[in-house]
Structure 1
Amino acid sequence: MKQINRIILLVTLLISISLLSACNPFSYTKRMELEDQVTENNQKGYDLVERGEYEEAITYLDKAVEYIYKLKPSLVNLDHEIELSELMDSPFNNLSWAYNEQMDFEKGLEYANKSLLILPNSDVEYVNKGNALYGLYRYDEALVQYDQAISLEKNDKSAYYGKGMIYYDRHQYQEAIDEFDTYLSLDSTDIDAMEMKIYSYMDLGDTEQALSFAEDLIKRAPTNYETYRIKATVIENTGELADIKKYFESMIEKFPDEMDIFVQMIKAYSAIGELEQAKASYAKAVKKDKSYVDLYTTMGDIYSDHSLYVEAVEYYDQAVQIDPLDEDFNINKLQALYNGKRNLRCAAFGEKAGKQLATSTDIAWYTGQCNFELENYPEAIDNFGRAVEIDPDDDESYANMAYAYLMLEDNDKAEEYSEKSLNLYADNSTANYVKNAIQEKQKPLGKQISKFFRDDYLYQDSSGNLDKTLAKLDEANLTNKDIADVIERVKKPDDWFTFALYGDEYDQLTVETGSDITYEDQGDIAYFRIYEFAGNTDDKFTEMIDQIPDPEKKVLVLDLRNNSGGRMDSSNHMLDVLLPEVVTSVLIDKQGYTDNYYSDASHIDFKKVYILVDEYTASAAELLTLGLKTYLNNVTVVGRDTFGKGVGQEVFEDKKNKIMVFVINFYWNVRQNNIMYTGIKPDIYIKSDKLADYMKVVN
């Protein structure tokens, strides 16, 4: 935001001495020393703001204020207007300016208000307050301040600029043009105002006028790169590839050392959908100067905007290598890893970045999210804990800590952190979910399971004597066997997939075997044996497949024999790795509501894909098979008809009592194809159970 700021003049010292001498307990010499300190620190602070060194400037301006408070302690809690010299006013006004430049508009407003309490006021003080209010999106109030500045000084160009920006943000483009015209009548050389006027014409749809003004700008400053850059923005707005290409080539010829031309060119091509042209411009630019970091961040942003998150990581990583301590570069890479579901890499990189940049809440937050996805709940709690240390008002991180504690069944801690989140923001959905879940867990186990069954069982309308049978769960002193018997009686008679597990069966199921997936590099064949879809199977698969060189030259084999399924989200995430931007599956609950899984644009291609199946291939394994077969044209299913489980389960677990209750919760389909009871028929039938016989087809 444009502003003009005054600096205290030495002549004010004499005025201030006479004003203060009657009421100040200091000796004349002491007053002179204090006033000298005010003047000196205010001058240094002002000069530093002018140079853009805002942190250091604030340090000096704060010192000036300290000396002012020593001279006049009543100013500390000033709440009414008082007439004093400019000496006592200027540091507050300059602090407002400095904080506004730092984008800390709350502080900017605080010091502007204090400055305005010390009379007489100037147009500059009203402009600073207007700028702070503008930064806080309090546009109506800001306009009042700018008008007040103009009433005091009709040639205060900063006030006109501020009004122009407000009208522009409000899409009142003609009004914005009028204000920028007034500004330019006072300062005809200001490039920023000219640029905003051109943008206003473009947003009015008057490209011809915008182009005319841009060309006039070049005539006025034919050697100024910025004027050509502004015209390029207008040319981009036409959307004509030939015109854009021709103009940028002329810019490169005129300004061969301006690497920013390539950045603007890349953005322009991307904006009109010419991604290949953008990539070609990037390649040319990197040959010219591979150290120009904006090239990498721009390409990363473009790939992210196209949901090509994995590709974006490569470019953000280049930026990190150039400047490992740049917080934004690290956050960009971390965010792309998270969005691309590269959770293992995300967690590892986040831990490393967090040690170097310990003051970044975003780094701690994204690292926590990735650890949460990996079910590394203690690590996630540590990450979110770092985030709230940095920002104690981060309700979302408190809520995520609460959720992680809930998953660990540490209900006391879960309740503690959900309350901390809700104290900051009462409508935080995660914290409210945790709070309600804890309240539910305080009920007897039987009542919890009864509610779970009523809420989540897909076939309850077909379940005979539902209320009467579930009433048994309200009784006291139920054993796990009692609960299992009730579930067996209340479920639909032909429902094989609703049941309770407890005792030895619970122990066997919850033992971590680590044998859910294996990978073998067989030269031209990438062979994966997937035994089940556990919580982290997708992450392991993704990590392994990312390491395969030149996958488009290889054959992918997914061995899903004897795989009875598991986590549907794990299967969907694996589809995301292998498919372009599609709806990988649709889940349909008992009310008919749907929940869609999507894949992003990033995907890994193979020359050919073979999926090995048998009659025991079911559920999530069938989803992976059907998803790949439906959306890719190079997939061959080998083996025998699959099981045909087109439904999914929801699970209630109580770790303390060692019991799980599985209930059928939803139907699933891939592009409206559900394989319940029918299964998936292979393209090539194999009677044998031997892997060698299956692989003969592949080879």
Structure 2
Amino acid sequence: MFEKNNVQNNFKKQMKELEKELIQKEKLESGAFTNPYYKGRFYGYTDLDTKREFLGKVKTIVFSPTVITIVAILIIALSVSWSNTSNNMIKAYESGNYTKAIEYCDKILSKNPNDFNALAYKGSSLAYLENYEEAIINLKKAEKIDFDTSLYFEIGYTDYELQNYNEAITYLNKAIALDNRYLDAYIFKAYSLVALEMYEEADKCADEIMTFYRDNAYAYNIKGLTNTYRENYEQGIENFEKAIEFYDEPDGSRFEVAYINKAWALYNQQSYEECIEYCNGIKTSFVNCYDFPYYLGDCYSILGEHEKAISAYEEARKLSPKDSTILSRIAFEYYYLEKYDKSSEYVNKSLSLNEEDYEATILTDMLIEASKPENERIVNFVKENYLYLDKVVDFDQKSATFLEKQEITLLDIYNFLESVRLKDDNFTFFIFDEYYDMMLEEDLNNKLEYKTLSDNIQYIKIDSFTIGIDEQFKSVLKKLPNPQEQTLVIDLRDNPGGLATTANRMLDFLLPECVISSMVDRTGEIFSYDSDKNLISFKHIYIFVNEESASSSELLTLALKTYLDNVTVIGRPTLGKGVSQKAFESKKNKYMIFLVDAYWNVNEISVSNQKIQPDIKIKGNELSHYTDAMEKHLLGK
């Protein structure tokens, strides 16, 4: 009956509301400089370019038995003026001039408030103008006069836009009862069920579509949505690819929404490098779609590639200049590059479009803190985060002395930190000058080492857990044929740790659904990392450790040992670092403060008081010493 597009706008509005409610207090581990308030964007688009013809409403309703008498009277009574107004209403509607169509509808309704066509056209026109509240009032009035399949569908669709999903399903079912092959009704019923998280019922809708329309692109899109929401990412991607394959329009157009949804599934799967490759490869086919550069920005941001993220977001901004969230994302990238003036500029642009923009509001407070004198910022950083603050003697006095300095040197910062650091706290420290440069260089060039040791034995050496190592790790694992028949070796010798976020993401690839680890700060607040049900299983996993394996190395080892029954640890007792650190960085002055801010545990097991004891102890530290012990263990099985 009526054509509708851009259904995804409803989801975007919905998730913007949820963003305001779901304030996450994420902890940045060991210098993770990505946006702590970052939200995975809500995709799973349900837009479609289907046309619902008006079905000659005059014919289908005028000749219905329930109104034949009224029609006869109207034919006699209506003037030429009324006829012209009715024709003009239809012409304005069909030409897309919905505001004008409403004016003609109102003229007719002023003379006959119960004119079915005027109510139906007005309701549809209002829906096109996204005034769904007024639209549903007029459509419901029309329903009291008469009904047909198209009207039921239009009411169901408008209820869907109003997020009245149960009501939408009721009316869409009425449309299906009158026409059991009504494709649009099945589609939007399924989308309503998805919104209600009734995924099995949504799948049934898709299956019903398939009984009438085999290999239907929209049915595959629905199954892609339900699988992705249930974290069945591979199946979700497969269904989106089928939706793309079987989309067949006379004009040769592509199923843009399915392409977007594939990017959404890759992103939620944490396949960031793959998502980047995919979006870069497809965006030229959809030059007016801002979603692909937006996803690129999101992925680059998570990988810590802030300049690339800004470039991608700017590309998205050109296509969607009124989106305040894009501006706030750009502002965050400039913030992490310590370009505070540019960050502030984009925050103001974001708030000028939407004064309630969540991320811009959060960043405003962060920029206020960034504008304070450096010594004040350092004092606040220690006061808010140091795990052992309550044990520091005369902290206020030491802070006051530090704050009195008009200008501070690296030596001043070092002396202040040493004055408040507990003597037995070996994990709070200060890196500056050439050591800072060396650390950045190591992080930038850090690559895992991968090789095949022998048939069905795959070896991965990880020197530290920096940004991007998890992506490299996942890329290697996904390329392995039949991993369940392979033995995996993870070499963590001399690995001092790094980002807990990176280690937890790596664990997510290997573990079933569980709470991987928990961070507990000095107030007792707990932040947990979770694993979904998707995992890559191996026949056996060996982990190589020594006394220099610490922090995130221990976290990864302990979690694998705790949650899997096919893990063997070879080497010597680990360092026993059961705490995490938060970082304060100055790119301008080339230094970084690492401050102990929380305890971590795996299933309430901590390594702070007990190091990880290997299952097989060895004395040597050469790789051959470890592989020899592994081979003996393999032969002994």
TM-score range (shorter-chain normalised) is 0.7 to 0.9
Secondary structure, counterpart of 1:511 in structure 2: helix
Residue number in structure 1 paired with 2:445: 514
1:543 paired with 2:472, answer no
Residue number in structure 2 paired with 1:565: 497
Task: Measure how far apart 1:685 and its partner are.
Answer: 0.9
Task: Measure how far apart 1:575 and its partner are.
Answer: 0.5
Residue number in structure 1 paired with 2:261: 332
Structure 2 matches for 1:347-358, cutoff 5 A? Answer: 347-358=276-287
Residue number in structure 2 paired with 1:447: 376
Residue number in structure 2 paired with 1:365: 294
Which of the numbers 432, 445, 464 marks the counterpart of 1:502?
432
- Output one character per residue of 1:202-258: Cα deviation in whole Å (capped at 9) or x when no partner: xxxxxxxxxxxxxxx8xxxxxx97399999xx9x9xxxxxxxxxxxxxxxxxxxxxx
Distance 1:492 1:84 in 2: 90
Residue number in structure 1 paired with 2:181: 226
Secondary structure, counterpart of 1:332 in structure 2: helix
Structure 2 CA distance for partners of 1:228 and 1:628, relative to 1, 3 Å: same
Task: Measure how far apart 1:161 and its partner are.
Answer: 3.9
- Output one character per residue of 1:431-488: Cα deviation in whole Å (capped at 9) or x when no partner: 1233222222222211111111111111111111111111233211210111111001
Task: Measure how far apart 1:646 and its partner are.
Answer: 0.9
Structure 2 CA distance for partners of 1:563 and 1:273, relative to 1, 3 Å: farther
Distance 1:613 1:225 in 2: 64
- Output one character per residue of 1:595-647: Cα deviation in whole Å (capped at 9) or x when no partner: 11111222111110001111111101111111111111111111111111111
Distance 1:625 1:357 in 2: 44
Structure 2 CA distance for partners of 1:117 and 1:134, relative to 1, 3 Å: closer
Task: Measure how far apart 1:339 and its partner are.
Answer: 0.6
Which of the numbers 472, 484, 487 marks the counterpart of 2:414?
484
Higher relative contact order (CA 8 A, sep 6+): 2
Task: Measure how far apart 1:561 and its partner are.
Answer: 0.6
Residue number in structure 2 paired with 1:604: 536
Residue number in structure 1 paired with 2:525: 593
Contact 2:102–2:125 at 8 Å: present in 1 too? Answer: no
TM superposition score normalised by structure 2: 0.75
- Output one character per residue of 1:499-558: Cα deviation in whole Å (capped at 9) or x when no partner: 221122212111145234111123311100000001111111111221111111110000
Residue number in structure 1 paired with 2:336: 407
Distance 2:446 2:344 in 1: 35
Secondary structure, counterpart of 1:226 in structure 2: coil
Structure 1: which amino acid aligns with 2:402? L
1:305 paired with 2:229, answer yes
TM superposition score normalised by structure 1: 0.68
Contact 1:93–1:111 at 8 Å: present in 2 too? Answer: no
Secondary structure, counterpart of 1:351 in structure 2: helix
Contact 1:395–1:420 at 8 Å: present in 2 too? Answer: yes
Task: Measure how far apart 1:562 and its partner are.
Answer: 0.4
Structure 2 CA distance for partners of 1:85 and 1:302, relative to 1, 3 Å: closer
Distance 2:219 2:159 in 1: 33
Structure 2: which amino acid aligns with 1:661? I
Distance 2:151 2:83 in 1: 25
Task: Measure how far apart 1:93 and its partner are.
Answer: 4.5
Structure 2 CA distance for partners of 1:476 and 1:86, relative to 1, 3 Å: farther
Structure 2 CA distance for partners of 1:501 and 1:228, relative to 1, 3 Å: closer
Which of the numbers 338, 349, 354 marks the counterpart of 1:420?
349
Distance 1:584 1:631 in 2: 9
The root-mean-square deviation of aligned C-alpha atoms, in Å, is 4.0
Contact 2:150–2:175 at 8 Å: present in 1 too? Answer: no
Contact 2:465–2:499 at 8 Å: present in 1 too? Answer: yes
Structure 2: which amino acid aligns with 1:590? R
Distance 1:136 1:648 in 2: 52
Which of the numbers 134, 142, 145 marks the counterpart of 2:138?
145
Contact 1:296–1:315 at 8 Å: present in 2 too? Answer: yes
More displaced 10-residue stretch of structure 1: 498-507 or 334-343: 498-507
Structure 2: which amino acid aligns with 1:369? D
More displaced 10-residue stretch of structure 1: 557-566 or 156-165: 156-165
Residue number in structure 1 paired with 2:461: 529
- Amino-acid identity (%): 30
Distance 1:349 1:157 in 2: 44
Structure 2 CA distance for partners of 1:296 and 1:462, relative to 1, 3 Å: same
Task: Measure how far apart 1:326 and its partner are.
Answer: 2.6
Structure 2: which amino acid aligns with 1:126? L
1:493 paired with 2:493, answer no
Task: Measure how far apart 1:138 and its partner are.
Answer: 6.5
Task: Measure how far apart 1:495 and its partner are.
Answer: 0.9
Secondary structure, counterpart of 1:615 in structure 2: coil
Structure 2 matches for 1:655-666, cutoff 5 A? Answer: 655-666=587-598
- Output one character per residue of 1:657-694: Cα deviation in whole Å (capped at 9) or x when no partner: 11111111111111111111312111111111121121
Distance 1:114 1:228 in 2: 32
Structure 2: which amino acid aligns with 1:476? Q
Distance 2:224 2:379 in 1: 50
Unpaired segments ≥5 residues, structure 2: 4-50, 56-79, 248-252, 632-637
Secondary structure, counterpart of 1:661 in structure 2: strand
Structure 2 matches for 1:306-321, cutoff 5 A? Answer: 306-320=230-244
Structure 2 CA distance for partners of 1:144 and 1:431, relative to 1, 3 Å: closer
Contact 2:584–2:593 at 8 Å: present in 1 too? Answer: yes
Distance 2:599 2:624 in 1: 35
Structure 2 CA distance for partners of 1:312 and 1:488, relative to 1, 3 Å: same
Secondary structure, counterpart of 2:264 in structure 1: helix
1:114 paired with 2:103, answer yes
Structure 2 CA distance for partners of 1:573 and 1:90, relative to 1, 3 Å: same
Distance 2:173 2:384 in 1: 60
Distance 1:460 1:645 in 2: 19
Structure 2 CA distance for partners of 1:609 and 1:311, relative to 1, 3 Å: farther
Residue number in structure 2 paired with 1:12: none
- Output one character per residue of 1:167-191: Cα deviation in whole Å (capped at 9) or x when no partner: 9986897x998xx8xxxxxxxxxxx
Residue number in structure 2 paired with 1:204: none
Distance 2:333 2:246 in 1: 35
- Output one character per residue of 1:260-318: Cα deviation in whole Å (capped at 9) or x when no partner: xxxx9xxxx9728999xx9xx99xx9xxx997655754553343132122443344345
Secondary structure, counterpart of 1:501 in structure 2: strand
Secondary structure, counterpart of 1:545 in structure 2: helix
Structure 2 matches for 1:233-252, cutoff 5 A? Answer: none
Task: Measure how far apart 1:386 and its partner are.
Answer: 2.0
Which of the numbers 118, 121, 137 marks the counterpart of 1:125?
118
Residue number in structure 1 paired with 2:578: 646
Which of the numbers 606, 630, 636 marks the counterpart of 1:698?
630
Structure 2: which amino acid aligns with 1:552? Q
Distance 1:533 1:649 in 2: 13
Structure 1: which amino acid aligns with 2:233? Y
| Larger Rg, first or second structure (1 or 2) | 1
More displaced 10-residue stretch of structure 1: 163-172 or 504-513: 163-172
1:552 paired with 2:481, answer no
- Output one character per residue of 1:98-153: Cα deviation in whole Å (capped at 9) or x when no partner: 75xxxxxxx74x344332454666622222222355678867644653576579xx
Distance 1:414 1:562 in 2: 39
Distance 1:293 1:303 in 2: 15
Structure 2 matches for 1:384-399, cutoff 5 A? Answer: 384-399=313-328
